[in-house]
Structure 1
Amino acid sequence: MKIVDLISWFEEWANPAWCESWDNCGWQVEPGVLQESARVLVCLTPTLAVMEEAIAHHANVIFAHHPLIFTPPKSFRRGEAISEMVRLAFIHNIGIYTAHTNFDQVPDGTADVLAQILELQEVSPIVPAVSGFGYGRVGELEKSLTLQELLAIIQQRLSPPDLIFSPTADLQQQISRVAVLGGSGASFISAVVKTGAQVYLTSDCKFHQFQESRDRNLILVDAGHYATERPACDRLSQKFISLNLDWVQLSQQDEDFREFFNSRV
């Protein structure tokens, strides 16, 4: 399949026109690869390490969730990460394509995959958007679990380096309704409360957002940005594999950008 046909297929599913006004979806760098047979490296965040991986595997597309460029740069200077990415992309003829807030909303996107991992039933968007899609997902657990059991499942299935949750007096509290949103989802707390969810799984939450959630009887669970969005990249790579492209791989150089000190080591 040619790259131009792959992108057309993808954009019928996750139209870049659905992205937010502050976002930057679609081609970040297109050095003239559209008519080439697709060799795709899927990643969460395009970095120099990912670019080196793409070069090593002779990939011609880096398909990323996070944009390489959020705001228009004022200059490109050698030694700066974005400039180096662009330089290497043109030297090695590697396109960089991003699907961000458009990919967040669709079936099998970031939120939908999280809901599937927790096996939520009767799922609907937290905030509906175009064509019945929308941001986040809320649904019912297949059977009620204690909060402690649910936290253990999240830890097991997402493998976050650290799991933070709202203070609660009762880890044996029964949980049946859960909301999820991959990436930075604290701004959706008010919308989640309206859904009747007891637990909200997301990431990048601040001190006072945990306070707000507790005051509104919502248990906030922060599993980290990487752990909540990386599974959707894995799912996307599996979809690409089903298209019988020349070569597809999920990046092995994606980074969490955070390490947690363990004083017991």
Structure 2
Amino acid sequence: MKIADLITWFEKWANPAWQESWDNCGWQIEPGVLQEDARVLVCLTPTLAVMEEAIALRNSGIAANLIFAHHPLIFSPPKFLRSGDAIGEMARLAFTHNIGIYSAHTNFDQVEDGTADVLAQILQLKEVSPVVPTQPGLGYGRVGNLEPSLSLKELLATIQTRLAPSHLVSSPVANLEQAISRVAVLGGSGASFISAVVKTGAQAYLTSDCKFHQFQESRDRNLILIDAGHYATERPACDRLVQKFQDLNLEWVQLSQKDEDFRSFFQ
């Protein structure tokens, strides 16, 4: 499959027109690879480490020509590009080695098998629906039921086992044995959706990047807030994207091994 055909297929599923006004989905750098057979390296964040991984693959005989990322490389137009600057270096290397960079962000968040939907599947939620619908069948976050219910302690252990976050933070509770039967999820920074989650009747909300007072707000609204980190809550959707691309019989596709969490926790 040509890269142009792959992008056409993807955009029928997760249309860039659905992105938020502040977002920058779609082509970040297209160095003239549209008519090449797609050899895709999928990642969460397009960094120099991922670009170097793609170049190393090319040097080893696997001519990777597309970095397909969730996070955009460029959120706002840079005023200049120069050597040594991260975006400037990414652009230089992309054109030098003929490697495109494409991003699917808030459009990918909303769709079936997108970031939130994959989290709901990992927790095996039933009767799932968007927390904030945007159009029929699509929307931000997912809320559903646990059947059978789990104790909060069991839910936290399940999240730790299945997502393997580097750090798991939750609201303080008096009883870890309380039964949890309804859970909301949203990959990435989801604390701004707390009010919407409360309206769904969810008892617990799995997301990331939550601040001190957002834990307080959740406690005061009888919602157990669970922060598993940005990387752990969105990386699984990248793995699912690899599986979907494999189903298209691409010449080559792989999940990046150089994606970074950008955080270290010391005991």
TM-score tier after normalising by the smaller chain length:
over 0.9
State whether structure 2 residue 79 is matched by structure 1 residue 74.
yes
Instruction: Tell me the distance in 2 between the aligned counterparts of 1:130 and 1:173.
Output: 35
In structure 1, give the amino acid aligned to 2:16. Answer: P
Q: In the alignment, is residue 95 of structure 1 matched against residue 115 of structure 2?
A: no
3-state SS, counterpart of residue 188 of structure 2: strand
Q: Deviation digits for residues 55-107 of structure 1, max 9, x if unmatched?
A: 12221000000000001101111101111001100000110000000000000
How many Å separate the matches in 1 of 2:237 and 2:157?
20
The alignment status of 1:44 with 2:44, answered yes or no, reads yes
1:65 alignment partner, one of 70, 75, 79: 70
Q: Which moved more, 1:55-64 or 1:226-235?
A: 55-64
Q: Which amino acid aligns with 1:132?
A: G
CA distance in 1, matches of 2:136, 2:179: 34
Counterpart of 2:174 (choices 169, 174, 177) is 169
- The alpha carbon displacement at 1:130 in A equals 2.1
Q: How does 1:1-265 map to 2 (within 5 A)?
A: 1-57=1-57, 58-262=63-267
How far, CA to CA, are the matches of 1:133 and 1:43 in structure 2?
A: 23
One-letter amino acid matched to 1:93: N
What do the CA deviations read for 1:120-155 (whole angstroms, capped 9, x no partner)?
Answer: 000000000123200000000021110000000000
Deviation digits for residues 145-179 of structure 1 (CA, Å, limit 9, x no counterpart):
10000000000000001100001001011000000
**Structure 1 residue identity aligned to 2:120:** A
Q: SS at the partner of 1:79?
A: coil
Q: Distance in 1 between matches of 2:248 and 2:54?
A: 20
SS in 1 for 2:136: helix
Q: SS of 1:37's equivalent?
A: coil
**CA–CA separation in structure 2 for the residues paired with 1:41 and 1:92:** 14
- Tell me how far apart the structure 1 counterparts of residues 122 and 67 of structure 2 sit (CA, whole Å): 25
Amino acid at match of 1:9: W
- After TM superposition, the score normalised by the length of structure 2 is 0.97
Structure 2 distance, partners of 1:74, 1:148, is 49
Any idea what the Cα deviations from partners look like across 1:177-210, whole Å, max 9, x if unmatched?
Answer: 0000000000000000000000000000000000
C-alpha distance in 2, partners of 1:118/1:98? Answer: 26
- Give the distance between the partners of 2:102 and 2:166, measured in 1 at CA: 28
Moved over 4 A (4+): none
Give percent identity, aligned residues only. 81
* Root-mean-square deviation over aligned CA pairs: 0.5
Find the aligned partners of 1:75 and 1:261 in 2 and give their Cα distance: 37
| Counterpart secondary structure, 2:109 | helix
Per the normalisation by structure 1, the TM-score is 0.98
Q: Secondary structure at the match of 2:42?
A: strand
Alpha-carbon separation, structure 1, partners of 2:140 and 2:236: 16
**Tell me, which stretches of 5 or more residues in structure 1 are unaligned?**
none
SS in 1 for 2:249: coil
Quote the Cα distance in structure 2 between the aligned partners of 1:166 and 1:125.
Answer: 23
Q: State the alpha-carbon separation in 2 of the partners of residues 170 and 41 from structure 1.
A: 44
What secondary structure, in the 3-state scheme, does the structure 2 residue paired with 1:62 have? strand
More deviation, 176-185/77-86: 77-86
| Secondary structure, counterpart of 1:253 in structure 2 | coil
Q: Residue type matched to 1:118 in 2? A: L
Task: Please state whether the residue corresponding to 1:4 is helix, strand or coil.
Answer: helix
